[in-house]
Amino acid sequence: MGILKQRRALSRAIRRAKTIFLMGHRDLDLDALGSCIGMYMILKKKRKDVYIIIDDKTHELGVEKVLIELEGCIDIIKTEDIDRKKSKRASKNLLIILDTNKSDLVQSETALKKIDKKVCIDHHDLGKTTIKDCVMINDTEVSSVCEMITELIEHYDVEIEPYYATVLLSGMVLDTNNFTLKTNPETFYAAYYLTSLGASAKKVQYLLKQDITEYTERQKLLAEIETINNSIAFTKATPYTVYRREDLAKVADTLLFFNNIEASFVIGKIGKDTIGISARSLGNFDINKILSKLGGGGDTYNGAAKFEKTTISKVEQQLKEVIKEESE
């Protein structure tokens, strides 16, 4: 269901709150950050006390650029600051979670416990760890949460500065892989609307620019590509290199550009004792159905999973077994 169809429940929760906290998922990307910033602007117009919770210690390059450029312009706090910023009346506090609906993926699980009233705005499939005690606004057909928030900005006729419009557009470009995935007429209209507010395509490309060293490391993952049933691309990293989750995701995106490939899976270390899978699909394979059997999740088009204290080879074997089951 689209966000505008559920705006009454959202408006009711916002109207009753005095202090509102926003947060996305851990390992922020431009969709999570952009949607937080867009919602921040809406709430500021409504004269609310608003704070964005960010506990991440490191950020992907685009997110880092935005946070540096917006330093001092928006109120960003850490979990440890929540008690100091909360309204004394618990009923006047609201937590809005954006770009995830999973309790184990949010920036701050502590925030979920500290703030009773919650709204979740997301575009991923629901799962076992989906936040239960909240107003759930979930639209799996939309490209990104940045698109959802753009709809609200237009509906409420909120004037935002061109830079903020650019960040929202960047989140849409990221999640659609340059408008190739989960894109429909509404997506292009949202992009047009942001452009009409001053969003800069040139600035979007700047925010999405990549680090040469990181790019080179990702290219190594393209050296050992396998195909399964001629339509699924699969690759894995060596056990000696640790990648960020977004690095695996970018490789998975790249694999979809090869002829006949409908889905992609990339395995690599994302921590000292943690193995990650990042997966993408053009829509003919349900990524969530595959990864949920491995303890991960996502939606039809993208998803991820992680494994502790195991090996890349073992994860590879488990993944291939599940893919085989789903292909039969």
d(CA 170, CA 172): 5
* Residues 22 and 114 reside in one and the same domain: yes
Q: pLDDT grade, residue 180 (50/70/90)?
A: confident
Q: What is the extent of the structural domain holding 233?
A: 213-327
pTM: 0.85
Does 1 have pLDDT greater than 60?
Answer: no
Same domain, 137 and 279: no
- Per residue in 64-73, pLDDT (tens digit) is 999 999 999 9
Mean pLDDT value of segment 193-208: 96
Instruction: Provide the angle, in degrees to the nearest 10, between the axes of the packed helices 30-45 and 61-69.
Output: 30
H helices of the chain, in order, are 7-16, 30-45, 61-69, 82-85, 109-114, 145-155, 162-175, 185-196, 201-207, 212-220, 245-255, 287-292, 312-327
Q: Are 17 and 99 part of one and the same domain?
A: yes
Same domain, 25 and 141: yes
- Least Cα distance to 107 among 29, 27, 21, 20 occurs for 27
Instruction: List the CATH number of the domain containing 191.
Output: 3.90.1640.10
Strands 76-77 and 232-236: unpaired
Instruction: Tell me if 298 sits within 8 A of 304, measured CB to CB.
Output: yes
Q: Which two tokens stand for residue 205?
A: 């490309």
Please tell me whether residues 155 and 25 are part of one structural domain: yes
Residue 229 maps to which CATH number? 3.10.310.30
Mean pLDDT to the nearest integer, 176-186: 90
Note the pLDDT of residue 110: 97
Q: Distance between CA atoms of 197 and 125, rounded to whole angstroms?
A: 31
- Please give the tally of structural domains in the chain: 2
Residue 320 and residue 193 share a domain = no
Q: Which of 163, 185, 207 delimits the end of a domain?
A: 207
Instruction: Indicate if 225 and 201 belong to the same structural domain.
Output: no
Average pLDDT of the chain is 93
Mean pLDDT (whole number) for 12-33: 96
Tell me which of 207, 238, 253 is where a domain ends.
207
